[in-house]
């Protein structure tokens, strides 16, 4: 029976393709330490094109030069970068009727911010792999020889909530310290905005845009030590029950507030609850460490991208 269904599905796809239907376009946004046309991103796009022949894929860039694009993942003003990307996407004819989106790590929360703030052209299905939707409460360790990452990490840790860091260091702009939430709320201008955390002003457009998604697929890496806490990928956040020992967080002192208990969800600040109650929020996992995608991406890409339109 299964083989018959596969055959019928394949025949239907060929009929639709012959009739002029094409796969819905796809936009990719790479993660920290990567660039829009790195070998890994090019290979990933090629594998998707093998699954969905004829699909148009655009990889978001801040800078076209690869080294500068990688640097822009560490240094820059996220709000300004988002505005630039919104103009970039609006200028691509193939995307004018809308597209699906896949965001890797911070690229996922940036695509989510695009949906809330712009969404023209609109995103239909959004897949986020290991994205920091509720921020990070620790700065990830860099690879030993990654001097750019090490410099950004030092600068971020020294003054994460200073005006300069909040305007120039990308990771600082989604650093959400559970032991210092008052300072976070008063200093941050990116994550507090897209999470509608200002009690004096909730942007209804953000909520309406986000709730307009067809499907939101939230993918968590089970052994993620880069995104702290890893549950941020599922809109979970950390609460500190006990005091810090020295300046080092102790794992046993951490508790996680899951998505369904977040004020952001309960009071529906960003339309997440509305989306969830429509059955449009999907929780998935990839076994292993941060962005060690392995084979877990393929079924998700088959199911949630490439619909013939």
Q: How far apart are the first and last CA of the chain?
A: 27
105 part of the active site: yes
Four-residue CA torsion sign, 183, 184, 185, 186 = positive
CB 148 within 8 Å of CB 70: yes
- DSSP-based three-state secondary structure for 1: coil
Catalytic residue among 224, 237, 268, 276: 224
CA dist 245 and 253 (Å) reads: 10
CB 194 within 8 Å of CB 109: yes
- DSSP-based three-state secondary structure for 240: strand
Pairing of strands 254-257, 237-240: antiparallel
Q: How many CA within 13 A on the CB side of residue 180? A: 14
Torsion of CA 226, 232, 234, 237, to 10 degrees: 150
Catalytic residue among 59, 105, 232, 237: 105
- DSSP-based three-state secondary structure for 169: strand
Tokens of 52: 């969905």
Four-residue CA torsion sign, 84, 90, 91, 93 = positive
CA dist 222 and 293 (Å) reads: 11
Tokens of 89: 């996407």
Catalytic residue among 52, 58, 124, 290: 290
290 part of the active site: yes
Residues designated catalytic:
105, 224, 290
């Amino acid at each position: 029976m299964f083989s018959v269904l596969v055959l019928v599905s394949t025949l239907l796809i060929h009929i639709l393709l012959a009739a002029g239907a094409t796969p819905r376009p796809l936009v990719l946004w790479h993660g920290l330490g990567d660039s829009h046309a790195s070998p890994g991103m090019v290979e990933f796009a090629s594998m998707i094109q093998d699954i969905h022949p004829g699909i148009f894929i655009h990889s978001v860039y801040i800078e076209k030069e690869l080294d500068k694009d990688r640097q822009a993942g560490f240094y820059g003003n996220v709000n300004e970068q988002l505005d630039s990307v919104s103009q970039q996407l609006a200028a691509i004819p193939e995307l004018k009727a809308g597209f699906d989106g896949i965001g890797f790590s911070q690229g996922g929360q940036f695509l989510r911010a695009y949906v809330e703030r712009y969404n023209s052209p609109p995103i239909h299905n959004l897949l986020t792999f290991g994205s920091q939707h509720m921020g990070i409460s620790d700065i990830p360790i860099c690879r030993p020889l990654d001097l750019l990452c090490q410099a950004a990490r030092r600068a971020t840790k020294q003054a994460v909530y200073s005006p300069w860091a909040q305007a120039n260091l990308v990771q600082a702009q989604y650093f959400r310290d559970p032991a210092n939430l008052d300072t976070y709320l008063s200093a941050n201008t990116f994550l507090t905005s897209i999470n509608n955390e200002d009690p004096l002003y909730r942007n209804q457009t953000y909520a309406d845009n986000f709730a307009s998604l067809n499907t939101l697929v939230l993918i968590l890496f089970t052994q993620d030590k880069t995104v702290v806490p890893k549950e941020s990928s599922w809109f979970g956040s950390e609460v500190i029950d006990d005091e810090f020992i020295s300046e080092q967080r102790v794992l046993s002192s951490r508790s996680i507030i899951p998505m369904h208990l977040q004020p952001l969800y309960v009071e529906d600040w960003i339309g997440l609850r509305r989306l969830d109650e429509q059955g449009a929020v999907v929780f998935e996992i990839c076994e292993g460490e941060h962005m060690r995608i392995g084979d877990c991406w393929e079924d998700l890409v088959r199911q949630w991208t490439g619909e013939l339109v």
